[in-house]
A = this chain, B = another copy of it.
């Protein structure tokens, strides 16, 4: 039943002090005399003592768990966010624990319950579209929280993100500025963020008089490069005069690019392509692909830093952070002529 075997009592005995002093030496060394500290440290090292995190959690009533809920572990976008989160918490006493909601609000609710049962020290959750119950759970939780990826008017606590709708608006405007007259929009895995991007596309398309529902193709399927090709093919079949596409993400954009090449339709001259997220590969593609850059790793870092501040009893200066976005213009939307 025993684990490592070495308990705080063993250390205390060997060091000739009480368990309480050992406990202190480990957590608040400044409250222990230099002599005792040295003694204890030596024994800890010699015995290889490691505190039992469960006993600590139970006795102290709090944990060192940072619970993170993301919709997908296989999506590059969240992988980047995670890298930012790990970058901040690695080497600290906080332990990141990952939960995967698989784009389901119900699963997210269940996950939230599971996590809260563990009394996390802090939480990071994705997006602003939690169920009412989840929102309530999070609001009542005895820990601080950062919502990431998006911005919204009703933050539960803290927030780091950017406006997907505005980003899509700007990207659509970019296509029009580049002389494209009949832009389309393709999207897969319709989640709330995707929806807002579509709205952004529609905003600008409508207001510029180029809106055509036949140039909007969405599907619930998970997004892949192959699917990008398929959606592009569908677009060109149902609206052959489409001269550009805003893709909901870079996988789709890459697939669309390949599909155009396969059909001998030159990019950017015959078809302009704009992706979303600006994954690393977009700059390496041939032709290079324009994309909406989002600051994903920075988002993870910011969220973690803010959480860390609250854990140290500092209030972050800005509890709501807009990281913005940038349209990274590349060859795929840079025509060599204008078909006016």
CB-based contact A258/B284 at 8 Å: yes
Contact with B along A90-127 (1 / 0, CB 8 A): 00000101101000000000000110111100000000
Find A83's partner among B58, B73, B261 (CB 8 Å cutoff). B73
CB-based contact A74/B79 at 8 Å: yes
Find A63's partner among B54, B76, B114, B119 (CB 8 Å cutoff). B54
- Measured as residues with beta carbon below 8 angstroms from the partner, the interface class of chain A is 35 or more
Find A58's partner among B52, B95, B117, B285 (CB 8 Å cutoff). B52
CB-based contact A117/B52 at 8 Å: yes
Find A262's partner among B2, B98, B119, B286 (CB 8 Å cutoff). B286
Given A3-B119, A224-B284: A73 touches B86 (CB 8 Å cut-off): yes
CB-based contact B254/A281 at 8 Å: yes
B residues in contact with A61, CB < 8 Å: 1-3
Q: How far is the CB of A6 from chain B (nearest CB, A)?
A: 11
Q: A53-B54, A54-B54, A261-B286 given. 12 additional CB < 8 A pairs?
A: A3-B119, A51-B117, A54-B63, A73-B82, A73-B83, A74-B79, A225-B281, A254-B284, A255-B281, A258-B285, A258-B286, A259-B286
Q: Say yes or no for A226: interface residue by CB 8 A criterion.
A: yes
Closest to A262 in B: B286
Q: Say yes or no for A268: interface residue by CB 8 A criterion.
A: no
**How many copies of the chain does the oligomer comprise?**
2
CB-based contact B226/A255 at 8 Å: no
Most central of A63, A79, A113, A281 by chain B CB within 10 Å:
A281
Q: What are the 8 tightest A-B residue pairs by CB atom distance, in nearest-first order?
A: A225-B281, A1-B61, A54-B57, A74-B79, A225-B284, A258-B286, A226-B284, A261-B286
Q: How far is the CB of A251 from chain B (nearest CB, A)?
A: 7
Can you name 16 A-B residue pairings with CB atoms under 8 Å?
A: A3-B61, A4-B116, A51-B117, A52-B58, A53-B54, A53-B118, A54-B55, A54-B118, A74-B76, A79-B79, A224-B281, A224-B284, A225-B284, A226-B280, A255-B281, A262-B286
Given A55-B58, A58-B55: A74 touches B63 (CB 8 Å cut-off): no
Q: Say yes or no for A203: interface residue by CB 8 A criterion.
A: no
Q: How far is the CB of A98 from chain B (nearest CB, A)?
A: 5
CB-based contact A113/B74 at 8 Å: no
